[in-house]
Structure 1
Amino acid sequence: MTAVRTRSRSRLLRDTASSAQVEALLIITVATILVTRLYLHLTGYPQVGGSVLHIAHVLWGGLLMVAALMVSLTFIGRAPDRIAVLLGGIGFGLFLDEVGKFVTKTNDYFYRPSVAIMYVVVVLLLVVNRAVHLRRGPSPDEYLANAALTATDGLAHGLTPTDRDQARVQLARAREGGVDPEVVEQIDLLLARCREVPSRFSWVSLRLPERLRGERSVRVAAALLTVFSVGILLNAAATLEEDLAARTSNVVTVIQLVGSGVTVLLCVVGSVGLWRRRRWAIRALRTAALITVFFVDVLEFAVQEFGALLNVAVGAAALSVFSHHLRQMSRHEALPDTA
């Protein structure tokens, strides 16, 4: 049997769908920042409010974030949650885009380190989101509450086969954890009464298309991450050589050289281990992707600003592929125990 945590009496129960929703919110946030910067660049940075007033878009961001809260607090179900994610992501992006104005005495929108600040904020939120959901498995009460939430939404809007199956797995885990079997049975009856609807759009499918979920995707991601890491390493080495020739020193370049060097080493070791189908190889590659996204790319943003976006995209995509593959391996190993 799969190990289930003992019942928790915590008043804060986690939504198993919230991790993907937070990731979607941050994706929309980053997209909003990029679209806003592009629009302002193309239109010559217009000011809303005339010659006297300047209505900064941080205000519109705040209004949209409040609207997201109102939607989330007023309505029940998954559909309002998706609307709140969209409004909140756009609002947070507009808010974060003007961070340069609020960390400088001169209200400098073009403050160069502001891009790095935005990146660090987004990365920290992703880390917190992951920590909340991965530091411990769901409790029986959380399994039960999530299954009940699915049944409630399903009675009004119907359920996809995947949602129904997932809710029933959660009920089974809740029963194993000591939840009253009669309560579990009642929720299962509610699930059975929900009409079936076709599978809908999923943020998971947005983050990782089906063709990128097999073993081939791991090799492609490893190759791309290795190539880009070698490129960063060579660029840092060339920059350091120029600094030494000019008898100047840049601590950022040295740190970037060390970080990218460690990433390249992990990529090479992991790529070799892939041919032997070793699990530690994917862990090594995932560690390399983590160092790239949370360390090397921060330095890239500090130096190149938005020029580092391609490196971030490669690192984030590789991290998604490696993490997904590790989760799939864990699930397959657990299948005999849950049968």
Structure 2
Amino acid sequence: METQISYILAIESSCDDTACAVLKNDEVLSNVVAGQEIHEKYGGVVPELASRAHQSHIVPVVDQALKEAGIKKEELSAISFTRGPGLMGSLLVGTSFAKSLALALDIPLIDVHHMHGHILAHFIDSNDQPKPEFPFLAVTISGGHTQIVKVTDFHEMEVIGTTQDDAIGEAFDKSGKILGLGYPAGPQIDKLAKSGDPLKFPFPVPKAPELNYSFSGFKTAVLYFIQREVKKQPDFIEKNLNDICASIQHTLIKILFQKIEKAILQTGIKTVAIGGGVSANSGIRSKLHSYKNHGWSVFIPPFEYTTDNAAMIGISAYYKFKAGYSVGMETTAAPRIQM
């Protein structure tokens, strides 16, 4: 029996990237992302500026995605979009555009949870890359999320561990800001850490119950440490930058994997798949690969599917579409939606 061909257009606008992708079943035909450099000078995303930029970018990005895919909008089977979580203004731009396009074309509208997208990015047909088998543990790590999710099906996911305050991505970025690095600081810390001593400066590992995380205390510890050392030696950061970054990254990776190890012991599931922007971190990727020696099956998405993108929204929508799922025009953005 031949597989029915479906063309799905996906829109992602949860934060500061305007993205659109077109998928042919589980194959990505185009994956266009327009970033917003305006936030760099503010050291973080400014919600009002983000939503305005989305309004400027969305039509050109959708048009480019369709052109790169080589199909006309009339050939689309469904329109999908990120419903949440994210910034309300940003989500509304993508939601409104998706609803209008689905209504005009008279085709199904499919809403997608942003974090489901990060998890299901592993199922994109990508150069014969292996896909995790159910059940598996998904570790979603980004600027806004740090979660351990038990995944038993494309549509059945249970959060078994989450951050009680800040996300690991924020811990990287705020630590970098303390060191005077630009935004986003996470990738810069990763790069500088490669030339540093990860054991030079010990930082505390916060305590959090069960499989949960906490990173706010870590950020405070880094701040107090830097203030104390700079007071004694004004050029301390400049002279020790690589070692500081290596020590910060080493500790954050230690915090992350302590709970993953505990989750494996509790669930008996030894298949781990990471996703989210911070999964691009080379130290985290290397550490995860090392657990293959402990009998883990590990899965890491291609770099283009780690940061926010629309292909991951499209693959999640594809499996919903196959199951006959769609939503009505009354659906709206949900910035704090739970998994």
- TM-score, normalised to structure 2's length? 0.27
The one of the two structures with greater contact order (alpha-carbon pairs below 8 A, sep at least 6) is 2
Q: Which structure features the higher share of helix residues?
A: 1
- TM-score, normalised to structure 1's length? 0.27
Higher-Rg structure is: 1
Q: Which structure features the higher share of strand residues?
A: 2
